[in-house]
Amino acid sequence: MIKLKRSRTQRTCYACGKDIEKGDQYGSMANVPGSSWTADSRPSEEIPRYAFQPFYGTVHMCEKCVEVKNDVL
């Protein structure tokens, strides 16, 4: 369950790419490394090494996307 907070700065929604304006509700969550594709699925010589590094960090989502995400969780 992702809790909504009021944004003090302008952010961009990680899920839909929309701007989250100052004062809008937003949710943040830890970004778990994705499994969209792996080193085995593409020729490694064409892809820079960093592409395989998992991205850890906190992402921000707009109110709508948080609602959708909470429905799934």
Binding site for Zn ion (CB under 5 A): 13, 15-16, 62, 65
Q: Which is nearer to Zn ion, 48 or 72 (CB)?
A: 72
Query: Least separation, in Å, of the C-beta of 15 and Zn ion?
Result: 5
Q: Which is nearer to Zn ion, 7 or 65 (CB)?
A: 65
CB 24 within 8 A of CB 62: yes
Buried/exposed code over 26-54 (b: 16+ C-beta within 10 A; e: otherwise):
bbbeeeeeeeeeeeeeeeeeeeeeeeeee
Query: Least separation, in Å, of the C-beta of 42 and Zn ion?
Result: 28
